[in-house]
Amino acid sequence: MMTRDEIRELAAFQADETKGACALSFYFQPDPPQDRSHRREAIVAKDVVKQALKSAAASGKNGPLHADLDRVLDLATNLRGSARGRAVFACSAQNFWKEYELPPRLGGTQIYLQPRFQLKPLAALLGAQPTLSVAVVDRQRARFFDLRLDDLRERGAIVHMLSRNASSDGFNGYEAGHAERRVSEEALQHFKAVAERLRIDFEKGIWERLIVGCQDANWREFEAHLHPYVRQRLIGRFSADVASVSNEEIRDHAGAVLNQWIAKRASTKAGEAVDFAKSNGRGVTGLRRVLQALEAGEVQSIFLTENYSARAVECPNCGHLDAHLVPSCVACGRPTRELTDVSDAIIPIAIRRDIELFYLKEHADLDRAGNIAALLRFRSDQTTGQLAAAS
């Protein structure tokens, strides 16, 4: 499982260009299951790496980079038939090699040789992924899972086996009714215990959002026992039978609920950012304003259309980003360097500062607003104004 700290480490990495070092990022995208027999994916992966080897040799970048590429080529050769995506981040000049399994939604198999790791496919995947708990519940069992990037891990379980139910006791009338009530009471105590466990884990910070897998018949009874702030954190539910559901099914159902929730949330929040920008509130649109807000530390969430790309300059000395392609930095006067895509600089900043990053497939308002927008935590100009007014 990829942790936030690991992602931050990748975002903070900078290859020492003065020593000819280079940050290699490799993403492997498997074919969809129906095409898997064609084995195209492994061939594509090998070609991509071989091409990179050739251009590295042509540009005289041998040594450590060549060693990294050889190692990636080995890996690509063995990816035949894999259903999972894969990412490698390497810089042997600085003794760095990290390999991750990822959900097969990486856009394509690609290799990048840049001063920083290419995190866009990862950022698009991560979006604003919450720390997610999945609870699969019935009247006598509950299983708790963590889900992160398609990686499902069981965290624990609660089992309160019910007494043999009334019908199998072979009693009639009063006895049967009595046994039934006993079983209902046991189920109720079980649901309470599960709800309590969810509350405690939430308070410990183990999860931020919750998905419940539960048979429709049990849902209303169980839901009634959820603590109000646990219920607020519930993002959806799927129908499942604890006794028979497989881990793959849990992962797929929960993944679908999560993706739907992220897409809906992204769309709503992007709309808010555009509206707030118009009313001069907590939103900005367009690259220039987004970069300014980013530098002022105001940004909470960034919204980009899926294929957003824009040129900009970056100051290698102070880190200032400018949407105008100025030759020297407006902040410190040093020479700037041009970025073919400003996302390469925005993404690591967003990851380091825990800014939510949303990629949107279609959003008419965002398209019209320059394909990039941000929601702000505050606006420094307005805060100062309010303070002045207050004093």
**Least Å from the CB of residue 72 to Zn ion:** 34
What counts of helices (H) and strands (E) characterise the chain? 13, 16
Locate tokens 């702030």: which residue?
229
Contacts of residue 339, Cβ cutoff 8 Å, sequence gap at least 6: 311, 312, 313, 314, 345
274 or 346: CB nearest Zn ion: 346
Q: Closest approach of Cβ 83 to Zn ion, in Å?
A: 46
d(CA 375, CA 373): 7
What order do you get walking across the sheet with 141-148 strand by strand? 151-159, 141-148, 132-137, 209-214, 234-238
Contact 44, 91 (CB under 8 A): no
For Zn ion, the binding residues (CB under 5 A) are: 315, 317-318, 320, 329, 331-332
Each as own residue / partner, the long-range contacts of residues 102-107 (CB below 8 Å, 24 or more positions apart, any chain) are 102/2, 102/149, 102/150, 103/149, 103/150, 103/255, 104/29, 104/30, 106/27, 106/28, 106/29, 107/27, 107/29
Produce one character per residue of 111-137: b if its CB has 16 or more CB atoms within 10 Å, e if not.
bbbebbbbbbbbbbbbbebbebbbbbb
Q: How far is the CB of 204 from Zn ion (least distance, A)?
A: 43
Distance in Å, CB of 335 to Zn ion, minimum:
9
When the beta carbons of 78 and 317 are compared against Zn ion, the nearer one is: 317
* 83 vs 332 by CB, closer to Zn ion: 332
CB of 115 to Zn ion, least distance (A): 16
Instruction: In whole angstroms, give the CA distance from residue 116 to residue 23.
Output: 5
Of 218 and 292, CB closest to Zn ion: 292
Please identify, using beta-carbon distances, which residue of 344 and 365 lies nearer to Zn ion.
344
Q: How far is the CB of 23 from Zn ion (least distance, A)?
A: 22
Name which of 73 and 331 has its Cβ closer to Zn ion.
331
CA angle 367, 368, 374 (to 5 degrees): 70
H/E element holding 201? helix 173-203
- Closer residue to Zn ion (CB): 67 or 318: 318
Q: How far is the CB of 336 from Zn ion (least distance, A)?
A: 7
Nearer of residues 289 and 320 to Zn ion, judged by Cβ? 320
Residue 235: CB minimum distance to Zn ion, A: 42
φ/ψ (deg, to 5) at 205: 80, 20
